[in-house]
Structure 1
Amino acid sequence: MLRSLPWALVPALVAFVLAPRPAAPWWALAWLCVAFVASRPWRRPAQQRGATLVAVVLAAAAALAAARARGLVDVAYRDDWPHVDLSQTNLEGEPPTWLEVAGVLRDAWVLGEYRVGEGELPDQSKAADAVLIPMTGRAGAIVTGGAVVVARVRSDHPRGEGVVVLRGHTEALAPELAATLVDLGGQASAPVRGVLLDTLQVPQHREAVTAAIVAAALALAAWITVGVARRRDGGVLP
């Protein structure tokens, strides 16, 4: 079974190691295609071909799962988060994908987020699934330059307790949401540029570890399946 190690496990290993690069899963799947063609399954008995195809599917799934696991691990165990203190500076330019922001949650302006089916109305008597709250450098401050930071947090997240430090995934805030949450008193000559800091997308340690275990289990299953296919073919599968 050791001879099946590169065939079955390399895609997941390659995807995990190279995952910071966007093309990592594709490199892993390319290796898998080459290994599959080299094994010439069309020249094998039907049962052995079936086992080989199952191994290919498992190895491909392991590669994709490994790339996802690496992304979760990198964020969940990251220590060097880019940091912005809104009391010292505004958020200028394009923010990094993951960002740590220090500021005050302006709980006077809160927009609830509800999960409802198509055509249904939210039951606002219940707690929202999440809320959007603008952040500023200090209470009563008005953002005069740069982007307006809007945090997406749980509805039960503490508010009005001074400066907080939040970590999250950044993305552009829809203009209509920025217009709803930010009031510039009719003085704005251009649309407000907002950045959404989504704290709910930050993976927890348990989530990252679970994803890594799933990827390893899929790779192990592919390895075992290749070993089964080899035994069915008298041990001659490359």
Structure 2
Amino acid sequence: MAVSHTLLPTPAPLQRLPPAEKVIMGVDPGTQIMGYAVIEVRGQRIDVLCYDVINMKALGSNHAVKLKRIFTRMLELIDEYLPDELAIEAPFYGVNVQSMLKLGRAQGVAIAACLSRDIPFVEYAPTKVKQAVTGSGSADKEQVARMLRQTLTLPPLEEAPKFLDATDALAVALCHHYQQGNNVKAGSKSWGKFLEDNPGRTVATTTTKKSARPK
């Protein structure tokens, strides 16, 4: 009697992600709230590992205490995500002198934390960041946030009020990636085109807990 043999299907090969080319940390300096974000670049793929804020409002008026908090939290983030480079936004020269001094110190402390781990940094003007992400150097925070939500898959934030400070930092990281020629064209999707394609869109916010970096 002949014995029939059933051939099992050959298992599909596992889909492997290309190795990470670079991990970039973006920072939007602040003396009350500092936004930060980390992205991972794999070929044409960009993964958002985290984006959130360092909230210093509860620390009172002692500027030194806030600077220490920035330095400590930056080191924690660096040790967790191991970024290859820091992209940080330059202070905006439209505020008073005292505010500028405090903002400059906050920026310097964030940079110092990265340099203490031998991480190089690049500074970008606010208009440069907006131009890279939206195609317009005069875009506002809401426009930047909307374009990022269209371009990237964003893990949710724990609290909606953090959103614009965190997305500003994410925009800085993405701007740095674009400037290195890793995107077809920075700002290729203009803000005007986005509004044309998405009539009635409002600022998107989220309230659930943010995702951690995949292991």
Question: Which category of TM-score, normalised to the shorter sequence, fits these structures?
Answer: under 0.3
TM-score w.r.t. length of structure 2:
0.24
Look at both structures and tell me which one has the larger radius of gyration over its CA atoms.
1
- TM-score normalised per structure 1: 0.22
Return the structure number with greater relative CO, CA threshold 8 A, min gap 6. Answer: 1
